[in-house]
Structure 1
Amino acid sequence: MIKKMIVFALPAILIACSAGNKKIENADPMEYAKTITAQELKDHLYIFASDEFEGRETGEPGQKKAAEYLKKEYQDLKIPAAKGNDNYYQDVPTSYFKKGKVKPTENVVAFMKGSEKPEEYVVISSHYDHVGVDDQGNVYNGADDDGSGTVGVLEIAEAFAKAKRDGYTPKRSIIFLNVTGEEKGLVGSKYYTDNPIFPLENTVADLNIDMIGRIDPDHEGKDPYIYLIGSDKLSKELHNLSEEVNKKYMNIDLDYKYNDENDPNRFYYRSDHYNFAKNNIPIIFYFNGTHADYHKMTDTPDKIEYDLMAKRAQLVFLTAWEIANREARLVVDKAEAPEAK
C-alpha cells in the first residue's frame, strides 16, 4: 500500500517541480502586464486617497492607516516583508526630519527573491505620504501625488506575484519600496539609502513612480504620454532598454522635456529616485507633469485618468521585467550623479 502511494505521488511531485522552474524566457510579460487594470487601480485609489486616510500626513494617523493598507495588500499577494518575520516597516527616526516636529514614521518594504541572481536588486518605488489636513479641516487627498504611484506599485507587485505563481520568478530580486516623508524633503528614501535593507552596491536600478494619474496642459487631447526623467543620467544602457521596451509593447509618447539639465523646475532633484542616483544607481522617474490640482485639496480620485494610468504602470512593469531578467546587470556609464544646485 505504501509503495503504491509513493508511485502515484511521484508524477504530481515532478509536475510541481517543473512548474516551479519554468524558464523565464518562455514567459510573455505582456500577459502579466495586462493584469494591471484601470478598474483595480481605481478600486485601490478610491480607498487610498479617501478622506479616511486624512491626507496621509507623515507620522499622523492617516499615514499609519495607509501603511497598514499597503502591508495587508502585500500579505494578500504573499509577497514577503523585506525585513523578514512579517515586518514590512522600516522605521524612520524623527531625527532625520530637519524642520518641524514629526512623529515616528516608516517606509513600507516588500521583497520578492530572485530565482537566479537573488543578490542583485531592482527597486520599484513611490512615496505614499501627502500633506494631510489644513487648519479648516480640509483633507488633501493626494490622489495623483502620489496615491497614483503607490497603487501603481501595488498593481505591479500583483503582476509579478501572478507570474511567480505561474512558475516565472524574476531572475533578480524585486524590492517594492513605498517611502514616507517625501513631502518633507525626500526623507524616507534618504533613510533607506543611508540604511539600506539590501546592499546598494548590488542594487541594479530604481524605477520611481511619482504622479502617473493625470494629463498636464501640454498633452490635453494628444496621444498617451509619460515624462521620463533621469533614464540616461547614469546609464545609457538603461535609457536604451527603456526605449526598446516601450517600442515593443506600449508605444507611449516618452517625453523628455524635464530631463533637460537646464529645466527650471529641477524635477530630477525633487523625488525619491534622486537618493538612489546620488549613490550611482541608475534610475527612471515616471511623471505626468503638474496640473491645476497639484498640492491642492482638489487632487481627488475622480479626476484620475485610469486607462492612461494603467498603460503607464504597465510600462513600468515591463521595464522592470526586462531589467530583472536580462543576463547582465546594467552598466553605469558615469561616475556619479549630478549634484543639485
Structure 2
Amino acid sequence: MGTCATPRYTTKISNLKNSIHIVDSNRVMTYAKTITSKELKKHLYTFSSDAFEGRKVGEKGQKLAADFIRSYYKKENIKSPPGISNYYQTIPESFFSNKINASENVLAFIEGAEKPEEVIVISAHLDHLGITEDGKINNGADDDGSGTVALMEMAQAFKQAKKDGYGPKRSILFLHLTAEEIGKRGSAYYTQHPVFPLENTVTNLNIDMIGRVDDLHQDNKDYIYLIGSDRISKELHYISEKVNNTYFNINLDYRYNAIDDKNHYYSRSDHYNFARQNIPVIFYFNGEHDDYHEVTDTPDKIDYDLLERRAKLIFATAWQLANQKHRVVNDENNDLLK
C-alpha cells in the first residue's frame, strides 16, 4: 500500500540494545579493582559495631554513624555538594511523626567534567533499628551496612579516577539516607527538597542489603536481585545488562521485579521515592535471610568477596551512566521504542 509498517516490538528492543555502547572498557575495571573486600570489611566492622547502638533514626548511634561517613569523605577529599553545609542535609523533627528527633542525610559529590548539571544518584540508607527492649543491639551489618560501605568504596574509586584525569562526564551524588526504616522518610525529604533539580537527576541506583546470600541461592551465590530497572527506562535495564555481560556475568535475578510481587519490594526501599518522580531506578538487593531485622545481622556473617563483586557491578554501571554520550532516556521519550 506504499506505507511502512511499524516495527515489531522485538525489533524495537533489538534496536535499543544495539544502540548501547560500552565506554572506557579498560579504564572502568582499573578503578573497579580499587574496591576491595579488605576495605569493605574494615569499614563495615566499624559501621555495624555496638558503638553505633543500632543507628536508630535521630538517636546517638545514628548521629555517630552519620559523622563516621562524613569523616570518611573529608579524609578522602570528596566534597560536600553545593548548597549543603558540611555534608549534612538536616531533616527537622517536624518532618517526622512519633516524636522522632531531627536527623540528617549525608551527601558527598563529584562534579562532572562535561555535563555537571546532569546527576547520577547512588544511594544507601545509614539508619537501622537501634536497641531492643531487652538491651540487645541491632547491628544491621547487611541492612544496610553493606550498602553504606559499598557506596563509600565506590566514591573513593570515582575520586581516584578524577584525580588521575578521568573524572566522570556527569556529576555523581553519593547519598546516604536516614530514616529508611521508618518509612523511607530520608529519601522522601530529599525528593521534596532536592539539592539538584529532579529533572536533572539521570537515575537512582539504590543499594539495600548486598552482603549476604538468601535461601534460594545457596548453591549459586553469584547473584543479585535487580528490581525496577525496566519500569521507567528500558534503556537503563539494557545498559545494566550489557555492563554485567561485559565485565561480570553475575546472575541478575528479576523474580522480585514482577508487578504482582507479593513482597512489594519495589515500593519498600528508598529508590521508590525517586521512581515516583519518574526518575529511572535500579534497586540492588540480596533478598531476605534469617537474620533480617534481627540482632543476629552481624558483620561476621557478610560474604566480603561477594560484597566486593556486587559493588564493582554497581560501580561499573554508574560509570557507564555517567560517561556515555547521552543521558538515559525514559521510555515515553525514547524514539527507538515509538
Q: Is the 8 A contact 1:233 1:334 kept in 2?
A: no
Task: Quote how far apart the aligned CAs of 1:50 are.
Answer: 0.2
Distance in 2 of aligned mates of 1:181 and 1:242:
28
Question: What is the 5 A alignment of 1:71-150?
Answer: 71-83=70-82, 87-98=86-97, 100-150=98-148
**2:290 is the counterpart of 1:311:** no
User: C-alpha deviations, 1:224-263, integer Å up to 9, x for none?
Assistant: 0000000000000000000000000111000001000111
| Cα deviation code 1:89-145 (max 9, x no counterpart) | 0011222223x1101100000111000000000000000000000121100000000
Instruction: Specify the alignment match of 1:324 in structure 2.
Output: 322
Distance 1:294 1:50 in 2: 17
Assess, with a 3 A threshold, how the Cα gap between structure 1 residues 25 and 299 changes in structure 2: closer, same or farther. Answer: closer
Shift of 1:165: 1.1
Ranges in structure 2 where 5+ consecutive residues have no aligned partner:
1-22, 334-338
In the superposition, the TM-score normalised over structure 2's length comes to 0.90
Match of 1:57 in 2: 56
Aligned residue number for residue 295 of structure 1: 293
CA contact (8 A) 1:223 1:252 kept: no
Partner residue of 2:44?
45
TM superposition shift of 1:83: 3.8
Are 1:114 and 1:169, in contact at CA under 8 Å, matched by a contact in 2? Answer: yes
- Contact kept? 1:97, 1:184, Cα under 8 Å: no
Conserved 8 A contact 2:57-2:179: yes
What is the correspondence of 1:242-261 to structure 2 with a 5 Å cutoff?
Answer: 242-261=240-259
Distance in 2 (CA, whole Å) between partners of 1:67 and 1:327 is 35
CA shift in 2, pair 1:199/1:286, >3 Å: same
Q: Give the 4+ runs in structure 1 shifted more than 3 A.
A: 24-27, 83-86
Report if aligned partners of 2:83, 2:195 keep a CA contact under 8 Å in 1.
no
Question: Percent identity of the aligned residues?
Answer: 59
Give 1:339's aligned residue: none
The alpha-carbon deviation at position 154 of structure 1 amounts to 0.2
- Counterpart residue number, 2:266: 268
* Matched residue SS, 1:103: coil
> Which whole-Å CA distance do the structure 2 matches of 1:122 and 1:301 have between them?
29
Distance in 2 (CA, whole Å) between partners of 1:27 and 1:172 is: 19
- Aligned length in residues: 311
RMSD of equivalent CA atoms:
1.3
Which runs of 5 or more structure 1 residues have no equivalent in the other structure?
1-23, 336-341
SS at match of 1:234: coil
- CA spacing shift, 1:26–1:260, aligned 2, 3 Å: closer
The residue that corresponds to 1:215 in the other structure is: 213
CA distance in 2, matches of 1:177, 1:187: 14
| Other-structure match for 2:167 | 169
The Cα shift of 1:84 comes to 5.3
1:34 alignment counterpart: 33
Post-superposition Cα deviations, 1:53-87, rounded to whole Å, max 9, x if no partner, equal: 00000000000000000001111111101145761
Instruction: Evaluate the alpha carbon distance shift between residue 239 and residue 134 of structure 1 in structure 2; reply closer, same or farther with a 3 A threshold.
Output: same
Contact 1:27 1:168 in 2 (8 A): no
